[in-house]
């Protein structure tokens, strides 16, 4: 990494915990809001996508309006596929996407983690954005209940406390709402370790704005900030462009060693790198 960081910015979901059993619950909520005749095909396609056997896969972008799955690099579309896997010609790609695309949370969806897999399948089958968001909120409500058990990452809390004691400022930056995020943090026993928490972060649209706010809050330069997350487009690419250091959590093996300063499969694998900061 460029410098020993003075501030570390952490994503929440897929970063501070490694549980994935809630995604089936989310997919069930989405499925139940679809017409009965579409529920079986939804579930089949969701499971294929989850296993990496569908055109929709983590790392791609879903164009909701055109119902196309895109391979992009720095927001330039390189390839485009129909839902059934048929590839568009290069001429068609150039005609449809002559300029950089704008990735957002409504019409051009980055499939950066498992939250987006069942959601995009549901949108393909006609589910509205409003119903999709309701399914997300229902899932977060479930995650707040005692029935939802979470596994803490071994030695992670202690590592964060060591960083605090050595003067490193810790920031949480998540797209999730505050109430359920706070419950999740409490279940992980991490509710008091962060110096600053930003909820409803609207990444990637506002990632750069959030980092500007963080830099001003702690009076640091961007090259003194380390961004840690599991979504390359949300947490890594915008931070890299600002000059921040980055650690990418990549359980799906869709990145390369050049995708971030450090690429690991799990947060557990990242802990030794954090320890080096305070040695």
Digit-coded pLDDT (tens) for 56-109: 999 999 999 999 999 998 899 999 999 999 999 999 999 999 999 999 989 999
Q: Are residues 183 and 162 part of one domain?
A: yes
pTM of the model: 0.85
Instruction: Return d(Cα 177, Cα 182) in angstroms, integer.
Output: 9
Which of 127, 143, 159 lies at the terminal end of a domain, its last residue? 143
Q: In whole angstroms, what is the distance from residue 123 CA to residue 64 CA? A: 7
* 3-state SS class at 229: strand
Identify whether residues 167 and 132 lie together within a single domain: no
pLDDT number for residue 256: 87
Does residue 167 carry a pLDDT above 80?
yes
In the predicted model, is pLDDT for residue 20 greater than 90?
no
> What distance in Å separates the CA atoms of residue 53 and residue 219, rounded to the nearest whole number?
46
Looking at the structure, tell me whether residues 162 and 269 fall in a common domain. yes
Q: Does a structural domain hold residue 258?
A: yes
| Shared-domain flag, residues 138 and 157 | no
Q: What's the number of domains the chain is made of? A: 2
CA 35 – CA 63 distance, rounded (Å): 22
22 closest CA partner among 141, 130, 122, 185: 141
Same domain, 195 and 132: no
Over residues 198-226, the pLDDT tens digits come to 999 999 989 999 999 999 999 999 999 99
Q: What's the pLDDT band for 29 if we cut at 50, 70, 90?
A: very high
What's the mean pLDDT in 138-151?
92
Q: Clarify whether residues 216 and 163 are in a common domain.
A: yes
Task: Tell me: do 97 and 157 sit in the same domain.
Answer: no
Please tell me whether residues 101 and 158 are part of one structural domain: no
Given a cut of 60, is residue 2 above it in pLDDT?
Answer: no
**Separation between Cα atoms, residue 266 and residue 250, nearest integer Å:** 7
Residue 2 resides in a domain: no
Helix or strand or coil: residue 96? helix
Question: What is the domain-level CATH number for residue 230?
Answer: 3.40.50.1000
Say if residue 14 is in the same domain as residue 27. no
Do 47 and 103 fall into the same domain? yes
Residues 15 and 34 both lie in one domain: no
Helix axes 116-124, 36-50, angle to 10 degrees: 140
The answer, yes or no, to whether residue 257 has pLDDT greater than 90, is no
Given a contact cutoff of 8 angstroms between Cβ atoms, the answer to whether 169 and 6 are in contact is yes
Residue 1 lies in a domain: no
Report the chain's mean pLDDT, rounded to a whole number. 94
* pLDDT on residue 201: 96
Q: What is the mean pLDDT of residues 240-254?
A: 94
If asked whether residues 59 and 128 sit together in one domain, one would say yes
Domain hosting 77: range is 22-143
pLDDT at res. 3: 56
Are residues 111 and 120 in contact, defined by beta-carbon separation less than 8 angstroms? yes
């Amino acid at each position: 990494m460029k410098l020993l960081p003075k501030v570390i910015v952490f994503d929440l979901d897929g970063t501070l915990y490694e549980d994935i059993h809630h995604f089936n619950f989310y997919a069930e909520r989405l499925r139940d809001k679809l017409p009965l005749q579409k529920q079986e095909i939804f579930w089949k396609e969701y499971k294929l996508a989850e296993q990496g056997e569908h055109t929709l896969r983590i790392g791609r972008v879903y164009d909701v309006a055109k119902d196309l799955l895109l391979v992009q690099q720095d927001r330039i579309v390189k390839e485009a596929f129909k839902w059934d896997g048929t590839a568009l010609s290069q001429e068609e790609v150039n005609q449809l996407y002559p300029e950089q695309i704008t990735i957002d949370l409504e019409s051009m969806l980055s499939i950066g983690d498992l939250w987006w897999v069942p959601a995009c399948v549901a949108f393909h089958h006609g589910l509205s954005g409003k119903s999709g968001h309701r399914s997300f909120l229902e899932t977060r409500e479930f995650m707040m209940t005692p029935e939802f058990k979470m596994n803490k990452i071994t030695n992670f809390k202690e590592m964060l406390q060591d960083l605090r004691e050595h003067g490193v400022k810790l920031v949480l930056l998540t797209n999730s709402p505050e109430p359920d995020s706070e419950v999740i943090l409490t279940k992980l026993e991490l509710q008091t370790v962060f110096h600053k928490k930003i909820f409803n972060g609207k990444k990637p649209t506002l990632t750069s704005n959030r980092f500007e706010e963080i830099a001003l809050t702690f009076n640091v330069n961007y090259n003194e900030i380390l961004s840690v997350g599991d979504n390359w487009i949300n947490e890594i690419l915008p931070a890299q462009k600002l000059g921040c250091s980055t650690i990418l959590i990549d359980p799906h093996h869709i990145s390369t060693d050049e995708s971030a300063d450090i690429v690991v499969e799990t947060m557990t694998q990242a802990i030794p790198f954090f320890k080096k900061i305070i040695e």
